[in-house]
């Protein structure tokens, strides 16, 4: 595998009206991301992964692996395997490894309050059982302190990455790098809202949704060539929409899939229940963004 940097979108999972996975649309989404020249692709919270059973996850990973393999492109696969059970996390991580994952993404257990030592033990057990890089996930409700992240990176072999989801992420990046972590690579999350600001402070990539990979890839290339002002000007056109989509997971599921429908990737924006459906006004406002940003492929 190559180093996990750049644009690593998280796949959305398409469902039909009965709640079954639409594998045809999923394959189209994989191809959509691959053709956009992303650096990696993930299955995670944005994929409704917590609503999928073991066999469904297995099939989705297999399809993703096959799509990337056939493309002959160097694209990393990152699978979210974190649960509140250490044994289940290890089981899912082994499954991901066997199916071709290049890295694991793991949040700390968030149903019980653990101290730093217990969180260290959790990540150490994963690292000792699965020889894959771990993307530690810092999320609301299970946030990791700067000191803990650095301790994990410095003392646990495979804790090589962290994905930051808790705003203000740019300030957290500054705080982390001031502690001089050993070989830690920082990635942004939070739908990519702060991608340019995070990059300016030392983040090496972002893990947004799957609906505008082309936008993130263009921004990444501008940043890579030190065209900061041009990157700001271009990317800021999309920030109001990204902010609008950051109003909760269920809200985001429907509207991000709605964008994928408008772009000709998905047939419907169904979300597996239970879920909270946006109202008509929310769709009207999203239509305004789609029109303004010329995202629709509809004629």
Question: Which of left, alpha, beta for 192 (phi over 0: left; psi -120 to 50: alpha)?
Answer: left
Give which of 58, 56, 2, 11 is closest to 266, Cα–Cα: 11
pLDDT given for residue 110 in this prediction: 84
Domain of residue 224 covers: 6-228
Q: Is residue 235 situated within a structural domain?
A: no
Higher pLDDT, 147 or 248: 147
Instruction: Decide: 293 and 37 in contact? Cβ < 8 Å.
Output: no
Percent of the chain beyond pLDDT 70?
A: 99
pLDDT digits (tens, 9 = 90+) for 51-105: 999 999 999 999 999 999 999 999 999 999 999 899 999 999 999 999 999 999 9
Domain count, the chain: 1
pLDDT at 299 over 90: no
Identify the three-state secondary structure at position 85. coil
pLDDT given for residue 1 in this prediction: 67
Q: Is residue 136 situated within a structural domain?
A: yes
Q: Is residue 189 situated within a structural domain?
A: yes
pLDDT digits (tens, 9 = 90+) for 264-293: 999 999 999 999 999 999 999 999 999 999
Q: Is residue 251 situated within a structural domain?
A: no
pTM of the entire predicted model: 0.96
Instruction: Decide: 53 and 19 in contact? Cβ < 8 Å.
Output: no
Q: Is residue 39 situated within a structural domain?
A: yes
Q: Is residue 191 situated within a structural domain?
A: yes
Mean pLDDT of the chain: 96
pLDDT given for residue 298 in this prediction: 76
Q: Is residue 279 situated within a structural domain?
A: no
pLDDT at 160 over 70: yes
pLDDT given for residue 249 in this prediction: 83
CATH assignment of the domain containing 194: 3.20.20.70
pLDDT given for residue 240 in this prediction: 98
Q: Is residue 266 situated within a structural domain?
A: no
């Amino acid at each position: 595998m190559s180093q996990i940097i750049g644009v690593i979108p998280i796949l959305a999972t398409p469902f039909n009206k009965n709640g079954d996975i639409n594998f045809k649309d999923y394959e189209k989404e994989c191809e959509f991301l691959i053709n956009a020249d992303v650096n990696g692709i993930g299955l995670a919270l944005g994929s409704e992964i917590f609503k999928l059973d073991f066999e469904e996850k297995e099939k989705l990973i297999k399809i993703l692996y096959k799509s990337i393999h056939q493309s002959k492109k160097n694209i990393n696969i990152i699978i979210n395997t974190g649960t509140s059970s250490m044994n289940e996390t290890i089981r899912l991580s082994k499954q991901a490894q066997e199916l071709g994952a290049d890295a694991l993404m793991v949040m700390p257990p968030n149903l019980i309050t653990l101290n730093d030592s217990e969180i260290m033990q959790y990540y150490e057990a994963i690292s000792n059982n699965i020889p894959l890089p771990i993307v530690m996930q810092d999320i609301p409700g299970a946030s990791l302190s700067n000191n803990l992240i650095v301790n994990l990176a410095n003392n646990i072999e495979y804790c090589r990455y962290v994905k930051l989801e808790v705003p203000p992420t740019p300030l957290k990046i500054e705080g982390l790098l001031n502690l001089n972590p050993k070989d830690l690579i920082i990635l942004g999350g939070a739908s990519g809202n702060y991608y340019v600001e995070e990059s300016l402070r030392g983040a090496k990539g972002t893990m947004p949704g799957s609906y505008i990979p082309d936008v993130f890839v263009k921004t990444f290339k501008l940043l890579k060539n030190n065209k900061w002002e041009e990157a700001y000007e271009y990317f800021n056109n999309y920030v109001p929409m990204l902010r609008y989509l950051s109003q909760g997971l269920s809200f985001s599921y429907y509207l991000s899939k709605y964008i994928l429908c408008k772009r000709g990737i998905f047939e419907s924006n169904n979300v597996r229940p239970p879920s909270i459906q946006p109202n008509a006004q929310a769709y009207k406002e999203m239509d305004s963004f789609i029109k303004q940003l010329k995202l629709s492929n509809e004629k």
